Amino acid sequence: MQQTGSSGPKGFVVQPRRLPKAEASKRVQDFGEIIVKPTTENVEAQAGRCTDCGVPFCQNACPLQNNIPDWLGLSAEDEMREAWRMASATSTMPEICGRICPQDRLCEGACTLNVSGWEAVTIGSVEAFIGDTAFDNGWVEPIRPLHERAESVGIVGAGPAGMAAADRLREQGYQVTIYDRHDRAGGLLMYGIPGFKLEKRVVQRRIDRLVDGGVTFVAGCNVGVDVTLDQLRDKHDVVLLAMGVYAARGLSVPGCGPGDTVAALDYLIHQNRRDLEDPENEAWHHAKGRKVVVIGGGDTAMDCVRTAIRQGAESVVCLYRRDKENMPGSAREVANAEEEGVHFEWLGAPKALMSRDGAVTSVRTARMALSEPVFGQRRDIHVVPGGDFDIQADLVIEALGFEPENFAAHNPELALTDWKTVKVARFGQPGAGFATSIPGVFAAGDAVRGASLVVWAVRDGQDAAAEIDRYLRTRTEEVAA
Ligand SMILES: Cc1cc2nc3c(=O)[nH]c(=O)nc-3n(C[C@H](O)[C@H](O)[C@H](O)COP(=O)(O)OP(=O)(O)OC[C@H]3O[C@@H](n4cnc5c(N)ncnc54)[C@H](O)[C@@H]3O)c2cc1C
Ligand code: SF4
C-alpha cells in the first residue's frame, strides 16, 4: 500500500512500511537470514515513520522496556552511535532480539501506527541494524570491569538467560563460569533457532565478547552427571540455574513406536550443525526427497517445516488440530512458511501412524471442529465423526512443545512449581526475585517460565544478575517458600 503525500503528527510525509525480505523462491535455496540487511537510507526512512506518539505503547509491550521511540529518533537522524548506546543500556542482545522477537505480538503489535491503519514501524529490523552497525564499527565496548571482585558465580546453561546474566555480572567484576552440556555456547540461539532466522555468526560474536571479557565457558559439562549442583555450590559463591526446558512432549497414538518419528529439536540441531560445518554424521536426519509431516502449531513446528523446504523435501505438511487464528505460532512465521510452500492442514489431529514393512507411510488424521465461541474462554475442539483422512508421510516430525526435565534430581530441596519449573521467590512481580528455595542458588529463563521467548530469557538473566549482585554485597536474600 503506497501511502505517500499524507502528513503524520510530526508534520512530515509518512512513508509506507518496508521490511526488505528475500523472495521466497530465492531464500529457500539456503539457510541464510531472510531479512535483507537494509541500507542506512532505508533505516532512516523507516525509523523516521515513528510519530513519537507520546504514549510509548511499543516500549510498554517490550519485555525489556527498551527506549524504542528514543533510539528510533536517533536512527532517523543517523545518530547511530548514540542509538546504540541507548539500545544497549537496556538489552545485552539488541541485534539478536531485533532479529527473532515475535514483534507482531510485542513492540510492533502495540505501535500506534497500526491503530491508524499505517502499519507498524519496523522496530525489530531497526534494532538489529543498530546492533550490527555497532559491531561493524567497533562500538561494542569490551567487558572491562572497573574493579575485579573475588566472588565467583557458576551459571548452569549458556543460553540467552545465562549469557545475559554473565554479561552483567562480569561487568560488575565477578568471576563467572558457565557450564553447558553442549559443545558450544548459545543454547537454543545456537542449536534450536535456524539460520534463516538467526545466523550463527551473530550468536558467536556475542559469545566471543563474553570470552574476551573474562567469562569462562566449560563446554560438554552435564550438570547432574559430570558435576553435581552441590559441588558447584561448594565451588562458587552463587549458582544460577539457566538450563531451559528440554523434555519434548511425545505423540501417543497407535502405530507410533521408537524410531517412527523424529524429535523436532534433534532435527533442527542436525541442520544447525551442518550450517556450522560440523562433519556430517550418518545419523543426522535430512528431508531431501521425502514426504514430511510436522505435527504441532508453534514456532518450533514453523522452524521444522521451513527447514524441510530448504532441504528439498518432496512435500511438507504442517498438521495442527486447531485453525490458523488459534495457532500458538507467530503469525509472521506462519506467513513466511506459507510463502515458502508449506501446506497447512488446519483442524487435523493425528490419530495413528500407518506403516508398511516397518516404515511409516502416512498419518491417519481425525478432522476436528471448533466449538462455539464463549466469551473469555479458549474455543474447545472436537472430532468430526467420519472425517478421518490420511496424509502421506515418510518423515514425521514431532513438534509438540517442551517441558522441564527432572530438576528435582539436582537436589531434593530445590522447590518446583506445579508445572515442574524451578520455583523462585517472586516470579512475575515488580522487582522480581529469582532466588530459589536453596540459599545462594538463583534461577532464570525458561527453567523458571517454561518454554518462552529469548527476550524474556534476556530480561530474566539481566534482572537475576542485578539481584545476585545485591545478594553478594549484602548476603541477604528472600528465598522461595
Ligand atoms: C526451535 C525453537 C525455536 C525458537 N524460536 C524462537 C524465536 O524465534 N524467538 C524467540 O524469542 N524465542 C524462540 N524460541 C524460544 C527461545 O529459544 C527460548 O525461550 C530461550 O532460548 C530460553 O533461553 P534460556 O537461556 O532460558 O534456555 P536455553 O536457550 O534453552 O539454554 C539452556 C542451556 O542450558 C543447557 N543445559 C540444560 N541442562 C543442562 C545441564 N544439566 N547441564 C549443563 N547444561 C545444561 C543447554 O544445553 C542450553 O545450552 C525457540 C525455541 C525453540 C525450541
Ligand atoms: S527486544 Fe523485542 S520486543 Fe523489545 S524492542 Fe526489540 S524486538 Fe521489540
Beta strands 381-383 and 395-398: pairing type? unpaired
Between the two ends of the chain, the Cα-to-Cα distance in Å is 55
CA distance 259 to 352: 15
**Residues near ligand 1 (Cβ within 6 A):** 100-101, 156-162, 179-182, 187-188, 192-193, 197, 221-224, 242-244, 268, 299-300, 303, 445-447, 452-455, 457
Which ligand lies nearest the alpha carbon of 218? 1
User: Which pLDDT belongs to residue 140?
Assistant: 96
pLDDT digits (tens, 9 = 90+) for 114-144: 888 889 999 999 999 999 999 999 999 999 9
Which stretches within 35-176 are classed as H helix? 40-47, 57-61, 68-76, 80-90, 94-100, 112-115, 123-136, 160-171
Check whether 71 has a pLDDT greater than 50.
Answer: yes
Closest CA to 224 of 388, 58, 407: 407
Which ligand lies nearest the alpha carbon of 294? 1
Contact 121, 46 (CB under 8 A): yes
Contact 123, 108 (CB under 8 A): yes
pLDDT digits (tens, 9 = 90+) for 150-179: 999 999 999 999 999 999 999 999 999 999
User: Which pLDDT belongs to residue 9?
Assistant: 45
CA distance 233 to 235: 5
The residues, ordered by sequence, that sit 6+ positions from 148 with a Cβ below 8 Å of its Cβ are 173, 175
pLDDT digits (tens, 9 = 90+) for 322-336: 999 888 888 889 999
| Average pLDDT estimate for 337-346 | 97
Q: How far is the CA of 196 from the centre of ligand 2 (A)?
A: 19
Q: How far is the CA of 130 from the centre of ligand 1 (A)?
A: 25
Task: pLDDT band for 57, please (50, 70, 90 cuts).
Answer: very high
pLDDT digits (tens, 9 = 90+) for 241-257: 999 999 999 999 998 88
pTM of structure? 0.94
User: Which pLDDT belongs to residue 3?
Assistant: 40
DSSP-derived secondary structure letter, 362: E
User: Which pLDDT belongs to residue 55?
Assistant: 86
Grid cell in block for residue 311: 532441504
DSSP-derived secondary structure letter, 373: P
pLDDT digits (tens, 9 = 90+) for 408-462: 999 999 999 999 999 999 776 665 589 999 999 999 999 999 999 999 999 999 9
Q: Return the higher-pLDDT residue of 52 and 294.
A: 294
Contact 152, 237 (CB under 8 A): yes
Closest CA to 438 of 407, 463, 473, 404: 407
Which ligand lies nearest the alpha carbon of 333? 1
The pLDDT > 70 percentage for the chain reads 95
Q: How far is the CA of 162 from the centre of ligand 1 (A)?
A: 10
User: Which pLDDT belongs to residue 7?
Assistant: 41
Which of 36-40, 376-380, 399-403 shows the lowest per-residue confidence on average (mean pLDDT)?
A: 376-380
CA distance 329 to 326: 9
**Residues near ligand 2 (Cβ within 6 A):** 62, 64, 66, 68, 97-98, 101, 103, 106-107, 123-124, 127, 455
Check whether 11 has a pLDDT greater than 80.
Answer: no
Beta strands 291-295 and 395-398: pairing type? parallel
For residue 463, CA distances in Å to 101, 165, 186, 388 come to 19, 8, 19, 50
